[in-house]
Chain A
Amino acid sequence: MKLVYTDVLVIGGGLAGMRTAIGVKQRGQDVIVLSLVPAKRSHSAAAQGGMQASLGSNAMGRGDNEDVHFGDTVRGSDWGADQQVVRMFTHVAPKAIRELAGWGVPWNRVQKGDRESVINAERVVITESEAAHGLITARDFGGTKKWRTCYTSDGTGHAMLFTLGDQTVANGIPVMERMEALALIHDAGRCYGAIVRDLITGELTAFVSRATVIATGGYGRIYKVSTNGIICEGTGVALALETGRAALGNMEAVQFHPTAIVPAGILTTEGCRGDGGILRDVDGYRFMPDYEPEKKELASRDVVSRRMTEHIRKGKGVKSPYGDHLWLDITVLGRAHVEKNLREVTDICRYFLGIDPAVDWIPVRPTQHYSMGGIRTDHTGQSQTLKGLFACGESACWDMHGFNRLGGNSVAETVVAGMIVAEFIADFCASSASDIDISTSLVRDFLGREQGKLDALMKTSGTESVVAIRKRMEEIMIDKVGIFRTGDELAEAVDELEQLLEKSRHIGVASQEPGANPELVAAYRLPKMLKVALCVALGARERKESRGAHFREDYPQRNDRDWLKRTLATWPDEADSLPHLDYEAIDVMGMEMPPGFRGYGVRNHIDHPDTPERAAEVERVQAEHADADRVELQRALMPFEELLPPRYRGPNQRLEDDTHEH
């Protein structure tokens, strides 16, 4: 048996995994990163538009701070988020971006003086101050009150990922590429590492660790059309699910991005609309102001995606062989802006559509984009039910996005969560709680079980086709578990996915080639994907309300009375055909911002019985602190600083603070 020991095993080499690895290494722990692909090719690289952090240096960001970022994020989540976690996040985001600036990310900077910009399809002049010159600038994104999204052109994820990738080299961290975790090693509610397959040789190795981190991104590829990279198959979160102990949270919360190109499903960044681009229909008519007069194209993503779909349903879509679409028009921004600040978009349009976005409209429609759901963790990133297992980034539900994520908050979450969770992991590894008291025979059992499954796939004469089952799963998810959902369709989806899971137990692998064997890879990933798909579909079937990205046509109201709670999915027995669902209440009485109206469409939700009481309490505290500064008021409403690792508790400096001082 090949066995490797490390203090910390990080599964996933994207932004979240690499930042976690750097953090624990700097705290003196040994760490190994496993990645399905060369780490710099992780899907984090595809994040285009930017990272939210309330620096407030640019003119349109003036007055921004953690409070405003907090409010935007909670409203965006449709009150599904854990507000203490959102506070931790908004407090550390400025530190994350400044750390990355120190490490070399070439953030775009404020240029003093006048510059032309486009707001609401009008050319305007913005004047940047002399004092802000050379500080990190920001662009506008949906669902935010300030221009808060910091960027490097539209290659933000790429610049961040390469900087962090180089930092892992600088820190001497081994990043083992083309390695796939097949199962977690665990016993009595404690995780001890993973069984890992080499995707070049096909060999299995047991990695035994004090702490194991899953940072494997989202599960978009269970959908037929997704902006996600093809490795985002949800097999990372399935590792946790298959332990029978760890829970997945809010798996039904799936985001559709308004503007992916048709038919390839490749993303064009929200920065297109943030910078002033608009949406048009078959008649060339700008329709969003009719639906959302205030935020228009820059409403939250779930809202824009629904409005677009609604408009297409009214017959206003543009017909194409690949279904109806709408137009994204960035010609209004002018060629210079498009070619400098939206160059990835320009490349994508040129290569995949053969058009020039400085003069042509881009065919777009809402497409699966982000997984709010993931491995349920507490504020430290640790699973509540499987100790020693941590998760961060898109694969986690710790839970700062609730039922809808704001653009620019995901890349921010990856590095912020990596910074925070790394500190808690290092504390855990330094404590006796992380002691390993299992025998190698347990490790051998786990390795033998995985090898047995692979051997069975290779040797049995199964007749079911991986390709056929997978394609059907992808179709079911997009057709029946998409933007608009109904009880009937969700029930059909659950039933058919359940049948597909049964079929997947009779897959045959024809190719007997040594090495990784792509056919075998597809075969062992498929049941994991189906289990994840079932968590999404069943969670959606059971959640009889509409919240954020989860929209039920048969239950169109947000219902705080019955549904202000997180869905927890577990898979207690391998032989089960459906996940087990449980719910975790969200405490209204502890909220800094009690549930209210999000500001889209008409006010139409059912209140939680505690909401009026908490709202009155918040008002009382605000009145009592009328003369206090914003930090004191915040502490009185919902203390969170003691939840943060001590090194990240300090206040964030802003240009405005300076101006006051002098």
Chain B
Amino acid sequence: MSTDSPVDSTSLSTSHSSRVASGRRLTFKILRHNPRDPDSHPHMATFELDETPGMTLFIALNAIRDEYAPSLQFDFVCRAGICGSCGMLIDGRPGLACRTLTQTLGEEITLAPLPAFKLIGDLSVDTGQWMRGMSERLETWVHGQQEIDPDRLEERMEPSLAEEIYELDRCIECGCCVAACGTALMREDFVGAVGLNKIARFRLDPRDDRTDADYYELIGDDDGVFGCMTLLGCQDVCPKDLTLQTQIAFLRRRMIATG
């Protein structure tokens, strides 16, 4: 059974308030729901905290869980903006919670889980299974015919090309681009900017033997590059500032030329 009332209203100071206070008292409205609990129904729960200098949503959510809501579900791992675990809707916009400073937000902060992914509970969604499915479908690994002999000197690569590949390889699969995508919300099988960016990455990589005809088989339809409506949401919210629209536009031209 749920121990949550439809509206939790907790009004206590946290232990952080003993530190240098910034003076603001923050109100967090958090969308709560546990799909495994038949008595649970989605609702906004409200919590209040005194803001502390340098407070991030990672710090705030842990304080809320430690002190008021021990069953609150959310995901963090690196808490440094590197691992992509903590994508959520922050005041309606997809972003990484761990590196969002509360001082960049208003006094009332609304948090909700990323749409387009299966809800695990509260702010936790299953991005992992989605990404694995995308990887299997698009075969996001180097397809090389050559046997690697690790005893020998590696194949050479132009330094600038290695840097270009790394630039696209920086995607952390946080799911923000999918949550911000109009197509992904309408089409369940759309591979998203994350998937198309990966194709762009492998296409650039000389170690991958696949041709544009091979890539056309993977993304040459409305679940692939032709599903994009160019709403630019993906690039707007990408925490790693990837040039997603440029990649998609380029791929689309290549695929039209191929198809």
Asked whether, in the complex, the Cβ of A37 is within 8 Å of the Cβ of B128, the reply is yes
Asked whether, in the complex, the Cβ of A104 is within 8 Å of the Cβ of B3, the reply is no
Q: Is A616 an interface residue (CB 8 A)?
A: no
Residue of A39, A347, A354, A518 contacting most chain B CB atoms (<10 Å)? A518
Asked whether, in the complex, the Cβ of A46 is within 8 Å of the Cβ of B82, the reply is yes
With A46-B78, A152-B166, A167-B141: A177-B150 Cβ-Cβ less than 8 Å: no
A122 to chain B, nearest CB (A): 24
Asked whether, in the complex, the Cβ of A513 is within 8 Å of the Cβ of B80, the reply is no
Q: In whole angstroms, how far apart are the Cα atoms of A202 and B120 in the complex? A: 12
Interface majority SS (helix, strand, loop, mixed), chain B: loop
Asked whether, in the complex, the Cβ of A518 is within 8 Å of the Cβ of B151, the reply is no
Asked whether, in the complex, the Cβ of A177 is within 8 Å of the Cβ of B129, the reply is yes
Residue of A165, A267, A467, A513 contacting most chain B CB atoms (<10 Å)? A513
A291 to chain B, nearest CB (A): 29
Chain A residues contacting B213 (CB-CB under 8 Å) are none
Q: Is A214 an interface residue (CB 8 A)?
A: no
Question: Which stretch of A182-190, A626-634, A647-655 is in the interface?
Answer: A647-655
Asked whether, in the complex, the Cβ of B3 is within 8 Å of the Cβ of A266, the reply is no
With A321-B19, A513-B2: A159-B73 Cβ-Cβ less than 8 Å: no
Which residue of the partner chain A has the closest CB to B153? A653
Tier of interface size on chain A = 35 or more
Selected contact of A134 from candidates B37, B53, B148, B156, CB within 8 Å? B156
With A106-B165, A166-B141, A653-B151: A348-B157 Cβ-Cβ less than 8 Å: no
Asked whether, in the complex, the Cβ of A169 is within 8 Å of the Cβ of B141, the reply is yes
Q: Is B226 an interface residue (CB 8 A)?
A: no
Asked whether, in the complex, the Cβ of A99 is within 8 Å of the Cβ of B150, the reply is yes
Chain A residues contacting B166 (CB-CB under 8 Å) are 106, 108, 152-153, 155, 159
Asked whether, in the complex, the Cβ of A351 is within 8 Å of the Cβ of B81, the reply is yes
Asked whether, in the complex, the Cβ of B79 is within 8 Å of the Cβ of A266, the reply is yes
With A111-B159, A134-B157, A155-B166: A352-B54 Cβ-Cβ less than 8 Å: yes
Residue of A97, A170, A321, A514 contacting most chain B CB atoms (<10 Å)? A514
B81 to chain A, nearest CB (A): 6
Interface string of B105-134 (1 = CB under 8 A from A): 000000000000000110000111101100
Which residue of the partner chain A has the closest CB to B133? A169
Q: Is A658 an interface residue (CB 8 A)?
A: yes
Chain A residues contacting B152 (CB-CB under 8 Å) are 98, 653
A29 to chain B, nearest CB (A): 21
A402 to chain B, nearest CB (A): 27
Q: Is A615 an interface residue (CB 8 A)?
A: no
Asked whether, in the complex, the Cβ of B85 is within 8 Å of the Cβ of A41, the reply is yes
Q: Is A205 an interface residue (CB 8 A)?
A: no
Chain A residues contacting B100 (CB-CB under 8 Å) are 351
Q: Is B70 an interface residue (CB 8 A)?
A: yes
With A134-B156, A229-B83, A263-B54: A169-B99 Cβ-Cβ less than 8 Å: no
Interface string of A146-157 (1 = CB under 8 A from B): 000000110100
Q: Is A606 an interface residue (CB 8 A)?
A: no
Chain B residues contacting A654 (CB-CB under 8 Å) are 153
Question: Which stretch of B169-177, B180-188, B216-224 is in the interface?
Answer: B169-177
Asked whether, in the complex, the Cβ of A344 is within 8 Å of the Cβ of B151, the reply is no
Q: In whole angstroms, how far apart are the Cα atoms of A231 and B77 in the complex? A: 6
Q: Is A101 an interface residue (CB 8 A)?
A: yes
Q: Is B20 an interface residue (CB 8 A)?
A: yes
A451 to chain B, nearest CB (A): 18
Identify which of residues 476-516 in chain A touch chain B, using a CB-to-CB cut-off of 8 Å: 509-516
Q: Is A42 an interface residue (CB 8 A)?
A: yes
Asked whether, in the complex, the Cβ of A46 is within 8 Å of the Cβ of B141, the reply is no
Which residue of the partner chain B has the closest CB to A266? B80
Residue of B2, B146, B151 contacting most chain A CB atoms (<10 Å)? B151
Asked whether, in the complex, the Cβ of B80 is within 8 Å of the Cβ of A46, the reply is yes
Asked whether, in the complex, the Cβ of B141 is within 8 Å of the Cβ of A104, the reply is yes
Q: In whole angstroms, how far apart are the Cα atoms of A98 and B157 in the complex? A: 13
Interface string of B1-28 (1 = CB under 8 A from A): 1110000000000000001100000000
Identify which of residues 192-222 in chain B touch chain A, using a CB-to-CB cut-off of 8 Å: 202, 205, 207-208
Q: In whole angstroms, how far apart are the Cα atoms of A104 and B139 in the complex? A: 13
Chain A residues contacting B76 (CB-CB under 8 Å) are 230
Q: Is A464 an interface residue (CB 8 A)?
A: no
Asked whether, in the complex, the Cβ of A109 is within 8 Å of the Cβ of B158, the reply is yes
Chain A residues contacting B101 (CB-CB under 8 Å) are 351-352, 354
B140 to chain A, nearest CB (A): 5
Asked whether, in the complex, the Cβ of B71 is within 8 Å of the Cβ of A511, the reply is yes
A338 to chain B, nearest CB (A): 15
B128 to chain A, nearest CB (A): 3
Q: In whole angstroms, how far apart are the Cα atoms of A104 and B65 in the complex? A: 41
With A41-B77, A41-B84, A159-B169: A264-B54 Cβ-Cβ less than 8 Å: yes
Q: Is A95 an interface residue (CB 8 A)?
A: yes
Asked whether, in the complex, the Cβ of B77 is within 8 Å of the Cβ of A42, the reply is yes
Q: Is A107 an interface residue (CB 8 A)?
A: yes
Chain A residues contacting B172 (CB-CB under 8 Å) are 40, 45, 158
Q: In whole angstroms, how far apart are the Cα atoms of A155 and B170 in the complex? A: 8
Chain B residues contacting A133 (CB-CB under 8 Å) are 156, 159
Chain A residues contacting B159 (CB-CB under 8 Å) are 108-111, 133-134, 137
Asked whether, in the complex, the Cβ of A162 is within 8 Å of the Cβ of B82, the reply is no
Selected contact of A351 from candidates B99, B146, B169, CB within 8 Å? B99
Selected contact of A512 from candidates B3, B19, B129, B157, CB within 8 Å? B3
Asked whether, in the complex, the Cβ of A514 is within 8 Å of the Cβ of B37, the reply is yes
Asked whether, in the complex, the Cβ of A344 is within 8 Å of the Cβ of B82, the reply is yes
Which residue of the partner chain B has the closest CB to A161? B83
Which residue of the partner chain A has the closest CB to B132? A169
Asked whether, in the complex, the Cβ of A107 is within 8 Å of the Cβ of B83, the reply is no
Which residue of the partner chain B has the closest CB to A651? B151
Identify which of residues 212-256 in chain A touch chain B, using a CB-to-CB cut-off of 8 Å: 229-231
Asked whether, in the complex, the Cβ of A108 is within 8 Å of the Cβ of B162, the reply is yes
Q: In whole angstroms, how far apart are the Cα atoms of A69 and B249 in the complex? A: 46
B75 to chain A, nearest CB (A): 7
Asked whether, in the complex, the Cβ of B170 is within 8 Å of the Cβ of A655, the reply is no
Chain A residues contacting B56 (CB-CB under 8 Å) are 264, 352
Chain B residues contacting A411 (CB-CB under 8 Å) are none
Which residue of the partner chain A has the closest CB to B96? A351
Asked whether, in the complex, the Cβ of B54 is within 8 Å of the Cβ of A177, the reply is no
Q: Is A96 an interface residue (CB 8 A)?
A: yes
Asked whether, in the complex, the Cβ of B170 is within 8 Å of the Cβ of A40, the reply is no
Selected contact of A45 from candidates B78, B79, B162, CB within 8 Å? B78
Q: Is A127 an interface residue (CB 8 A)?
A: no
Q: Is B245 an interface residue (CB 8 A)?
A: no
Which residue of the partner chain B has the closest CB to A109? B159
A219 to chain B, nearest CB (A): 15
B165 to chain A, nearest CB (A): 4
B24 to chain A, nearest CB (A): 16
Asked whether, in the complex, the Cβ of A104 is within 8 Å of the Cβ of B142, the reply is yes
Selected contact of B148 from candidates A43, A99, A110, CB within 8 Å? A99
Asked whether, in the complex, the Cβ of B140 is within 8 Å of the Cβ of A169, the reply is yes
Q: In whole angstroms, how far apart are the Cα atoms of A170 and B141 in the complex? A: 7
Q: Is A519 an interface residue (CB 8 A)?
A: yes
- If A98-B148, A467-B67, A651-B151 are given as contacts, then 20 extra A-B residue pairs at C-beta distance below 8 Å, sorted by A number, are A41-B84, A46-B78, A106-B169, A107-B162, A153-B166, A158-B169, A169-B140, A202-B36, A266-B80, A352-B54, A352-B99, A510-B3, A515-B120, A516-B73, A518-B70, A518-B72, A519-B71, A522-B70, A652-B151, A654-B153
16 A-B residue contacts at CB 8 Å? A38-B127, A45-B83, A46-B80, A102-B148, A106-B166, A108-B159, A133-B159, A135-B156, A158-B169, A170-B139, A351-B100, A351-B101, A352-B101, A511-B3, A650-B151, A653-B152
- Listed from nearest, the 7 A-B pairs whose CB atoms lie closest are A38-B128, A134-B156, A102-B148, A519-B70, A95-B150, A515-B36, A104-B142
